[in-house]
Amino acid sequence: MSVELNHTIVAARDRRHSDFLAEVLGLVAPTPFGPLMVVEVANGVSLDFANVGLLDVPCDHRRR
């Protein structure tokens, strides 16, 4: 059985900091998805930026 990571939530003081990461890495500009700003990276993985305190997701959140 293989394990596949498709996204991770990045806690940020301001979710718009995703713009900076995308620019530095030479990626497409982030897109909004609900309360998140999503940066698409390689292999179908995304970094989903959320304002700290915006989502009530424990740091050990995993979807099964």
CATH number of the domain encompassing residue 39:
3.30.720.120
Give the number of domains in the chain.
1
| Phi and psi based region of residue 12 (left: phi greater than 0; alpha: psi -120 to 50; beta: remaining) | beta
Q: Could you give the CA distance from residue 2 to residue 45 in angstroms, rounded to a whole number?
A: 15
CB 23 within 8 A of CB 8: no
Q: Which domain holds residue 30?
A: 7-51
Region 5-27: what's the mean pLDDT? Answer: 91
Structure-block tokens of residue 25: 């890495």
Residue 41 placed within a domain: yes
- Residue count of the chain, please give it: 64
What is the arithmetic mean of pLDDT over 25-40? 95
- Decide: 22 and 61 in contact? Cβ < 8 Å: no
Q: List residues bridging with 36 in a β-sheet.
A: 33
Q: Write down the pLDDT at residue 53.
A: 64
Q: Does residue 43 sit within a domain? A: yes
Q: What is the pLDDT of residue 51?
A: 86
In a domain, 38, yes or no: yes
